[in-house]
Structure 1
Amino acid sequence: MATKAFASSGDLEEKEQTLEVLADGVYALTAEGDPNVGAIEGEDFLVCFDALATPVAAGDWLARLREHTGKPVRYLVLSHYHAVRTLGASAFEAEVIVAHDNTRGLIAERGEQDWASEYGRMPRLFKQPASIPGLTWPDMTFSDSAGIDLGGDRGTLELRYLGRGHTEGDIVAWLPRQGILFAGDLVESQAALYTGDAFHREWASSTLDNVAALGAETLVGGRGAVTRGRDAVDAAIEQTRHFLDVMLREVGAVHARGGALSAAFDAAHAALVDRYGAWPIFEHCLPFDVSRLWDELSGIERPVIWTAQRDREVWDQLQG
């Protein structure tokens, strides 16, 4: 049997990017399962949501955005700490970079290791990596919620922490007037979940309950197509929950009977592959997902730091 290429290292084909205008002054850029980003116009400024992996990649997004608006970027909101969401920040020349309190701590604790890890796993996303000036540090953080007054009659952009999920510092950007939610990687639309830094039980229960309670009519997940309509938004949230619930059931059963990590991976893979196997990054993510969940079930509260070496060890053990 052919050896699987490590993580997404073999995925070198460029993805088609699509810029969508979701409402007056509200934009999303999607790219066939690559990380999504967005922007919201204020009266005389922009709020951008997530930064992509390098300043060059971010510059390409900003060039597309400049076809619609020339307003300067006042705020750059980071949904969480992962390198593919943060390291392109310098391209925005934002006045204020905003993140959750926990995201600042995670950058300090494991930002360098995450950079090396993600570059090794997803090299195509790191367009001209030499353009990265260093780690991205937020200027402003909050614990529960923060609001950005968009000015005029544009309302308020609400930034909310809804609980631990994909990481312990995920935040969403919510436009209640338009019913539009930028959910980051707390919800995926037809893309597999990465849970290597997750809190599976909390994510699958109270955190997704809090996402659903917002009642969004349009949802931009971390990857995949924009989801439109309340029924479709609810379905995307429940698909995310289902992925987590299946992992919890299958990995939990093997763990409870004293089985091996490799057996837990095989059980989770078999239970998920028919529904999710053709979706972006499924094979890439699952070894790291199962490894983190195994640790969580073993009483390891916070995720072990992923390093380039640990990535390879887990991959070789479970996908080799």
Structure 2
Amino acid sequence: MKPLLYILLISTILSCRSEKVKGTFQSQHFNLVELTDGVYACIHKPGGKAICNVGIIDNGNETIIFDSFLSPEAAEEIPKIVSHYNLSPIRYVINSHYHNDHIRGNQIFDEDVKIISTTRTAELIAEKEPLEIADEKEYGPERYTYYDSLDQEYSGNKDAVEYQKIMMWKSYYEILSTSHKEITTRIPEMLITEEHFLNGPDRKVRLLPRGKGHTDSDLVLFLPEDGILFTGDLVFNQCHPYLAHGSLHEWKEWLNYLLGLKPASVIPGHGNIGDTATIMNMKTYIEAIENIAHQINFKEEISTDLIPGAFKDWWFDRFFPVNLGFAFENKTPDLEKLWQNFQSVIVNESDVMKLALTDEWYPLISNPNFRPGVRETLKANNRASAATMTRSDEPGQQISVDCVILDESSSQPLRNVSVELVHTDIHGLYFPESGMWNPRIFAFLNTDQSGTVSVNTIMPGRYYGDEESLIPAHIHFTLEKKGYRMYASEFMFDDDPIYQATGNPENLPVARKIEEHRYLVTIQMQKQ
């Protein structure tokens, strides 16, 4: 009898567990979409209190939440989903950026759950949230009353987009009007500035920060094996994005980078799930805004009448005048004219690399069509023996490197050697676009009397997409001097863990660490 009771008990338990995961989790705030086993997207419902989209990722050891909704009420359902589908315990919540609709659910998670963001995003949350909440207490109730009246007076088809928009804004302002008494701002405590992995036995999880874009600092979450990309507000789908807190130029660079990831599924910050076409649409929108901004002469001309036909049906059309005004005030230069001016100015400059990285001229390096010409011009006009290869806002660990070039037979320093240096960014990419060789981080220099060139730059990242690569971080160099063989190779860093593990089978030059974040490498050239 006891064995039979035991079997019945086990059967009952298993039945209850299987029943628990049957059916789709239902929410009034969002639609839950299973993207693959253990990966879900919560897509905001018009009239719900989610407002943004959220990702739920089980890596096999722990569950990671990407963004946390505007309303704590909606966020309370995230742990219920994890329980409903028997996912691993929640260990991390990622804040893609600082905007309120992506962070206010932070507070519902237990203290042992770590909130992760970039350092700059955490600073912005601490700085902006108290001000935002104070303002919302003032304007929230009035705007809620307005949209509530539109709801009460509406007599049309309630499935129509027009009505859904009313309900979306009504819910938004209802949250702002009623939730402040329960809001406790939780600032991220685990801060990152470069690529970070949260891998588990079931999947690899990459957190990718790249600096400015939609805001002063954004990051995305990518599942390379699943081809799933959570973008935060760097991508909106069929919605006008809010451009005025970001940088249009850097945003487009972000989008180029995201396209390079080649995701199969793209979960935007707002709107339905898309693919790479959704990213392209976002880039097209920004370019369209920039083009219109160049065509108008006065800010007073701005109105929703200027919305291009392709975007007429997009949600959040109230953002369009703000976006166009922002683009009008931050018009990008005419690159053709800028390129012509650059070519005339550069011949009189002693430090051409410093000039090229300034705000005035850097758009030429950032643009893949002009970058090759800039490189050739800098190479032809380089005279300095020291240079900075990256701008101050380039993500990554700042380092300095001294390269001493010697004659191989005499070990004497070689003066006036033309030196080209090239390396990857922290993500392991030489350039964010697809296509032919077109490196973004580079320098052209000439050795001084001691045979030395010196650069300030960042520590290169390992090659993109292969965190298990056995190729150490390295910098490519090309050396040219009359009477000597051209020498093109690369040097590694002696404190790189992969170099220390694998050694130097090809006998390449190695940069020795001589103090914190400073390296010295000696390279020999052969006479012809």
**Residue of structure 2 equivalent to 1:277:** 312
Q: Which runs of 5+ in 1 are unaligned?
A: 1-13, 228-232, 302-320
Residue identity matched to 2:64: V
Pair 1:245-2:263 in alignment: no
Q: 1:173 is aligned with what amino acid?
A: L
Q: Name which of structure 1's ranges 50-59 and 174-183 shifts more when overlaid on structure 2.
A: 50-59
Q: Please, which moves more after superposition, 84-93 or 107-116? A: 107-116
- Which residue does 2:150 correspond to in 1? none
Does the CA-based 8 Å contact 2:33-2:41 persist in structure 1? yes
Q: SS at the partner of 1:149?
A: coil
> Residues 143 and 26 from structure 1, CA distance in 2 versus in 1: closer, same or farther, beyond 3 angstroms?
same
Structure-1 residue corresponding to 2:193: 143
1:111 aligns with 2:158: no
Look up the SS of the partner of 2:108 in the other structure.
helix
228, 235, 247: which one pairs with 1:187? 235
Select 1:222's aligned residue among 239, 264, 269. Answer: 269
- 1:43 is displaced (CA, Å) by 2.4
| Partners of 1:83 and 1:118 within 8 A in 2 | no
Equivalent positions of 1:14-163 (< 5 A) are 17-32=30-45, 34-93=51-110, 95-116=113-134, 120=140, 122-126=172-176, 128-130=178-180, 132-150=182-200, 152=201, 154-163=202-211
Q: Which amino acid aligns with 1:158?
A: R
Q: How many residues align?
A: 271
Residue 312 (structure 1) aligns with: none
Are the structure 2 counterparts of residues 172 and 245 from structure 1 closer, same or farther at C-alpha, using a change threshold of 3 Å?
Answer: same
Q: Which amino acid aligns with 1:290?
A: L
Give how far 1:196 is off. Answer: 2.2
Q: Secondary structure at the match of 1:186?
A: strand
Which range is displaced more, 214-223 or 69-78? 69-78
Note the alpha carbon deviations across 1:241-279, whole angstroms, 9 max, x for none: 11111111112332xx4x2x221x23xx33425322332
In structure 2, relative to structure 1, the CA distance for the partners of 1:282 and 1:118 (3 Å cut) is farther
Cα distance change of structure 1 residues 66 and 38 upon mapping to structure 2, 3 Å threshold: same
Instruction: Confirm or deny: 8 A CA contact 2:114 2:189 kept in the other structure.
Output: yes
Provide TM-score, normalisation by structure 2. Answer: 0.48
TM-score (normalizing by structure 1): 0.76
C-alpha spacing 1:88/1:273, structure 2 compared with 1 (3 Å): same
Q: Would the alpha carbon gap of residues 46 and 118 (structure 1) be closer, same or farther in structure 2, given more than 3 Å must change?
A: farther
Output the CA distance in 1 between the equivalents of 2:29 and 2:308: 25
Change (3 A) 1:112 1:262: farther
C-alpha contact 1:198 1:292 (8 A) present in aligned 2: no
CA distance in 2, matches of 1:297, 1:134: 39
Return the alpha-carbon distance in structure 1 between the equivalents of residues 94 and 177 of structure 2. 21
> Please, which of 219, 225, 234 is the counterpart of residue 276 of structure 2?
234
Alpha-carbon distance, 1:70 to partner: 4.9
Aligned 8 A contact 1:16 1:32 in 2: yes
Distance in 2 separating the partners of 1:106 and 1:160: 18
Q: Is 1:286 the counterpart of 2:320 in the alignment?
A: yes
Instruction: Give the number of the structure whose residues are more often strand, by fraction.
Output: 2
Q: What SS class does the counterpart of residue 210 from structure 2 fall into?
A: coil
**How much does 1:161 deviate?**
1.4
Q: Deviations over 1:114-161 (max 9, x none)?
A: 3455673731455851464332311111112111122x2x23210001
Distance 1:49 1:131, change over 3 A: farther
Q: d(CA) in 1 for partners of 2:177 and 2:62? A: 27
Greater RCO, CA 8 A, separation 6+: 1
Q: Which has the larger radius of gyration?
A: 2
- The match for 2:155 is none
Change beyond 3 A, Cα 1:272–1:105: same
**Equivalent position SS for 2:222:** strand
**Inter-partner Cα distance in structure 2 for 1:143 and 1:114:** 25
**What's the Cα RMSD here?**
2.6
Distance 1:298 1:218, change over 3 A: closer
Call closer, same or farther: CA 1:273–1:250 in 2, change over 3 Å.
Answer: closer
Deviates more, 1:154-163 or 1:129-138: 129-138
State the SS of the aligned residue for 2:271: coil
- What secondary structure sits across from 1:222 in the alignment? strand
User: Which residue identity lines up with residue 102 of structure 1 in the other structure?
Assistant: R
Instruction: Give the whole-Å Cα distance in 2 for the aligned partners of 1:118 and 1:292.
Output: 23
Q: CA separation in 1, counterparts of 2:28 and 2:293?
A: 33
CA distance in 2, matches of 1:71, 1:194: 35
